[in-house]
Amino acid sequence: MRTLTRIESRFGEILVIEDVATGARRYYEGTAFQSHAAADGESCFVYVHIMCALLRRKRRVLLLGCGGGSLATMVARRGAEVTLVDHNPHSFEVARDYFGLPQTVRCVAADFRDFLADEPVSYDAIGVDVGNATFDFQKELDVVTGAAIRGALAPNGVAVINTMVSHDLDPTADLIAVASAGPDRPAWIFDQLGEIERNAIVAIGPTRRPRLAAEVFPEDLRAEFATWSVRPARARTATSAPRGRDA
């Protein structure tokens, strides 16, 4: 590994390192490992490819959260007009210089909630991939934020939200799904059951169960994608602690 850049920002140090053998690069902000991209700029994370697949064929796409910009790069390459929002303006510079973020991507430095409140434009799709090691997903992606996301969607638009769950009994993804869904916008959850401290993807809008073909994933990620499943969201209570067994 070699260090490509270090940048001090008020949100923590940004560090980019590269695997010399493969050209793959990693983006860290503070203590959070936020992006991992192959030499061609495509993400090494299955969850990012799931998000990209759910956002495909949408013309105007809003992405909340930058990091190394892998998702924005992938969506823009597939023909979308992308607006990318992040509270750390340095992330855009790093994404362009080290991860191949296209110049066509419109970058806006703002808190994602403030942007949603003020933005008059509606989008065909919204992708949300925000947070760091201390981010409270249940608190920050609540019913108010969910309503703002729905309000920024065009008719028949979809929203795709990345969240983190600790274990199979963690209700975080379901709580966010229920908070973000609407009467005409059902919620689905892509999850990798059995894994701890994992990503889970909430998809808002598809009226039928989303089905993704393995062929849309890079060949070296297809085996991992096969371990994911999709289900409808369900009502849950706000607790993330595993249940203990009776003595």
Write out pLDDT tens, residues 149-188: 999 999 999 999 999 999 999 999 999 999 999 888 999 9
Q: Are 175 and 182 in contact (CB under 8 A)?
A: no
Count the domains in the chain: 1
Q: Are 147 and 247 in contact (CB under 8 A)?
A: no
> What is the pTM (predicted TM-score) of this model?
0.93
Residue 89 lies in a domain: yes
The token duo for 83 is 């607006």
The pLDDT value recorded for residue 66 is 97
Q: Rounded to whole angstroms, how far apart are CA atoms 222 and 202? A: 20
Strands 60-64 and 81-86: parallel
Residue 133 lies in a domain: yes
Q: Are 117 and 148 in contact (CB under 8 A)?
A: yes
Write out pLDDT tens, residues 204-215: 998 899 999 999
Confidence of residue 4 (pLDDT cuts 50, 70, 90): very high
Residue 181 lies in a domain: yes
Q: Rounded to whole angstroms, how far apart are CA atoms 10 and 15? A: 14
Percent of the chain with pLDDT over 90: 86
- DSSP for residue 69: -
Q: Are 126 and 64 in contact (CB under 8 A)?
A: yes
Q: Any idea which residue has 């490819």 for tokens?
A: 49
Range of 183's domain?
45-232
Residue 23 lies in a domain: no
Residue 4 lies in a domain: no
Q: Rounded to whole angstroms, how far apart are CA atoms 115 and 126? A: 13
CATH number at residue 136: 3.40.50.150
Residue 165 lies in a domain: yes
Q: Does the pLDDT of residue 132 top 60, yes or no?
A: yes
Which residues sit opposite 158 in a β-bridge?
125
The pLDDT value recorded for residue 238 is 59
Q: Does the pLDDT of residue 247 top 50, yes or no?
A: no
Residue 137 lies in a domain: yes
Which of these, 143, 15, 137, 106, lies nearest to 67 by C-alpha position?
A: 15
Sign (positive/negative) of CA torsion 27, 33, 39, 43? Answer: negative
* SS3 (DSSP) at 51: helix
- Distance between alpha carbon 52 and the CA centroid of its chain, in Å? 9
Phi-psi region of 94 (alpha: psi -120 to 50; beta: other; left: phi over 0): alpha
Residue 48 — φ and ψ, nearest 5°? -65, -40
Looking at residues 125-154, what average pLDDT do you find? 92
Residue 40 lies in a domain: no
